[in-house]
Structure 1
Amino acid sequence: MSSLNKTALANPGYFNFANSQKRSPRVPGRLWRQGILEPLDHVLAADGKRLRADLVEITFRAAGGLGSVPLEVIDFVELMHAGSLVIDDIEDRSTERRGQPTLHTLVGTPLAINTGNWMYFSALEKLLDLPVRQKHLLGTYSETLATIRRAHEGQALDLAADVTEMNRDEIYPTIRAISKLKTGGIVALASKLGAALADADERSQKAFHAFGMQLGTSLQMQNDIAELKDATKLNGRSDDLRNHRITWPWAWLSQRVTEKEFNEVRRLLQGCSSDEFHLVARELLASVSQVFSQYVSGEIDSAIANIRGSVKSHSEELIELTERLKQYHV
């Protein structure tokens, strides 16, 4: 259970919708519970890995910050990320997230969409309460809005792209862009926020943003591989294959084999029935199983190399985090 879950659900007034309750005292409390608190409880009760929250704390210290990061900052990061997952699950028609049913399968798509969007806006409200110096607050707020917008642009590309229809040379640049706009952008925001809390200058904040962007891209690589591995099981999760999503395994394959060999693997997906996805997954995984760790490590090592000049202290924490990320979910 996240720290946000423990804080918020023990005190519903933590969120500003409590003001709406007070202005509408005759509305039955069960409607607020059914419409907001119970869906929120389900989303936040899932066990996450706190990578983004940990990144804020570590970059805060690495950028010269003293003391600890306020809980409200961690809540902001977790709330925005969790809201994005609710929407992603709907658009991917996913049925499971972190070992439990996805929200829309329990409460229906309309309420799940509303919950995900409510989490976005609640996070933005919380952002105004963060202990960021006034000179950094406007920039942080603007960066957050831009991150959310870009994440939706990345999702638009993700939904529009069909790996069975794209030219082979289009796949790598497209998945790189999607990764930067979505996962990379949110992780980059968390990294930059840590630096802003430490009152780092603009140059350092940009460096930590770029650092987070590369880490986020590496996370997307690993998520794609993890789902592909799961899809090799007879009843494994196969959302990416079912939706014909372009993913990093397809991108790596496109760069390592001839056009003919690439199309041979891709043809397996065309016309594939739901009980055959595991066969496609096994073929695709076998084609990239020897190289994906190199790509992930390369992305992370490059991130560390590029940030060294901006790290003021606690560099060992950054190294430990990146080593942990190399083993993430694979």
Structure 2
Amino acid sequence: METKLEVTEILKRYSADIDKEINRALETVDPETLLQASEHLVKAGGKKLRPSLAVLSAEAVGGQVKSALKTGAAVELIHTFSLIHDDIMDQDEKRRGKPSVHVIWGEPMAILAGDTLFSKAFASVMQSEDDGVTPELILPALHTVVDSCVKICEGQAMDMGFTERMDVSEEEYLIMIYKKTAALIAAATKAGAILGGGSPEQVEALAEYGRLIGLAFQIQDDYLDVASSEEDLGKPVGSDIVEGKMTLLVVHALSQASEEDKKRLHTILKEEGDENVSEAVAILEKYGSIEYAWKVARENVNQAKELLIDTLDDSSSRDALLLIADFVLERSN
């Protein structure tokens, strides 16, 4: 609980400046309807974890906060773009406690809003020169951000393909969540380190730190779906099972289970409704899959922290990055 409060304070520290950069990036969007649709999820809140990681990474290598603010805003714009398009694909009607963009403005306008955020993100990175960042640093930072966008699309396509399969390997699953979730977090930490003037070793360490906590973040989501409470999650326990998702827990159980249990779990994942969620959870427990997922997430967080300790000087920003790594596992939703 203490870690969560500390991390909340860390994220608040940069939130106003990041919001200012996001507003600046979107202020010229026209017509008004497109602006409203583009701003909707940004104004609905969110932890601003990714942009804060960009700024903290710049500080942790000895750079200035302002050098990474516009790229931090860009990362948040890309994250929001991906959420709008995900909601369209999944037909989800709510996001951050509010109606999804496509529910209010319709799918065509929601697609345009996502495309607008996507485009404005790159413009925001390039405008870092206004804050005294040299083009020699902006170009590799921009390349890092662009590459993460391609990976997000690849990861989403892999995830969609997994719903038709029951033979997904753990290696395939980890590649998918790296691309879909961890790549943007790694881009935030890597780009921040680049813009802060970090050494090649520091840049690589922060990129790997981002990748590892990004993987842990998604695996923890998988874990919480069956190990948390509906009150903490804000949605029914076992919703991933109801939706037939390939999570690390399911992938592990299918690789370990008897033929009978494998077939039963397969059947439950394919059927509609939540009547047999508890039976599926019992199968996951039988093969130690819930505990296994938590262990993998913990190993990733420990590796991420070791990297920072080995390559960065002691500082308040490094301490903040270490706290965020712990927060990934200690959160309940």
| Global fold match (TM > 0.5) | yes
Alpha-carbon distance, 1:264 to partner: 2.5
For residues 269 and 15 of structure 1, what CA distance do their matches in structure 2 show?
Answer: 41
Describe the shift of the 1:258–1:299 C-alpha distance in structure 2 as closer, same or farther (beyond 3 A). farther
Residue in 1 that maps onto 2:125:
127
Task: Please give the per-residue CA displacement for 1:195-219, whole angstroms capped at 9, x wherever unaligned.
Answer: 1121012332122111111111111
Alpha-carbon contact 1:180-1:213 (below 8 Å) kept: yes
Alpha-carbon contact 1:211-1:307 (below 8 Å) kept: yes
Describe the shift of the 1:67–1:145 C-alpha distance in structure 2 as closer, same or farther (beyond 3 A). closer
Residue in 2 that maps onto 1:7:
20
The letter of the residue matching 1:15 is L
For residues 216 and 177 of structure 2, what CA distance do their matches in structure 1 show?
Answer: 9
For residues 311 and 21 of structure 2, what CA distance do their matches in structure 1 show?
Answer: 35
Describe the shift of the 1:150–1:14 C-alpha distance in structure 2 as closer, same or farther (beyond 3 A). closer
For residues 53 and 259 of structure 2, what CA distance do their matches in structure 1 show?
Answer: 40
Alpha-carbon contact 1:241-1:277 (below 8 Å) kept: no
**TM-score relative to the length of structure 2:** 0.81
1:205 partnered with 2:216: no
Residue in 2 that maps onto 1:178:
176
Residue in 1 that maps onto 2:53:
55
**TM-score relative to the length of structure 1:** 0.82
Give 3-state SS (helix, strand or coil) of 1:48's partner.
Answer: coil
For residues 124 and 225 of structure 2, what CA distance do their matches in structure 1 show?
Answer: 33
294-303 or 118-127, which deviates more: 294-303
Alpha-carbon distance, 1:133 to partner: 2.7
Alpha-carbon contact 2:159-2:176 (below 8 Å) kept: yes
141-150 or 276-285, which deviates more: 276-285
State how 1:142-161 maps to structure 2 within 5 Å.
142-161=143-162
The letter of the residue matching 1:106 is I
Describe the shift of the 1:242–1:265 C-alpha distance in structure 2 as closer, same or farther (beyond 3 A). closer
Alpha-carbon distance, 1:94 to partner: 1.8
State how 1:106-125 maps to structure 2 within 5 Å.
106-125=104-123
Task: Please give the per-residue CA displacement for 1:101-152, whole angstroms capped at 9, x wherever unaligned.
Answer: 2221222211111111111111011110124432222212222221111111
94-103 or 112-121, which deviates more: 94-103
Alpha-carbon contact 1:238-1:277 (below 8 Å) kept: no
Describe the shift of the 1:231–1:262 C-alpha distance in structure 2 as closer, same or farther (beyond 3 A). farther
For residues 69 and 284 of structure 1, what CA distance do their matches in structure 2 show?
Answer: 50
Residue in 1 that maps onto 2:275:
276
For residues 189 and 259 of structure 2, what CA distance do their matches in structure 1 show?
Answer: 39
Give 3-state SS (helix, strand or coil) of 1:273's partner.
Answer: coil
Describe the shift of the 1:99–1:195 C-alpha distance in structure 2 as closer, same or farther (beyond 3 A). same
For residues 21 and 304 of structure 2, what CA distance do their matches in structure 1 show?
Answer: 34
For residues 157 and 115 of structure 1, what CA distance do their matches in structure 2 show?
Answer: 24
Describe the shift of the 1:201–1:295 C-alpha distance in structure 2 as closer, same or farther (beyond 3 A). same
For residues 177 and 261 of structure 2, what CA distance do their matches in structure 1 show?
Answer: 25
Task: Please give the per-residue CA displacement for 1:285-324, whole angstroms capped at 9, x wherever unaligned.
Answer: 6454434332221111112223433213323222212111
1:138 partnered with 2:139: yes
Alpha-carbon distance, 1:159 to partner: 1.0
For residues 259 and 229 of structure 1, what CA distance do their matches in structure 2 show?
Answer: 25
The letter of the residue matching 2:78 is M
Instruction: Identify unmatched segments of 5+ residues in structure 2.
Output: 1-11
2:194 to 193, 196, 204: 196
CA RMSD between the two structures: 3.0
Alpha-carbon distance, 1:4 to partner: 7.6
For residues 194 and 14 of structure 1, what CA distance do their matches in structure 2 show?
Answer: 18
1:313 partnered with 2:314: yes
Residue in 2 that maps onto 1:327:
330
The letter of the residue matching 1:245 is K
Q: How many residues align?
A: 310
For residues 284 and 104 of structure 2, what CA distance do their matches in structure 1 show?
Answer: 32
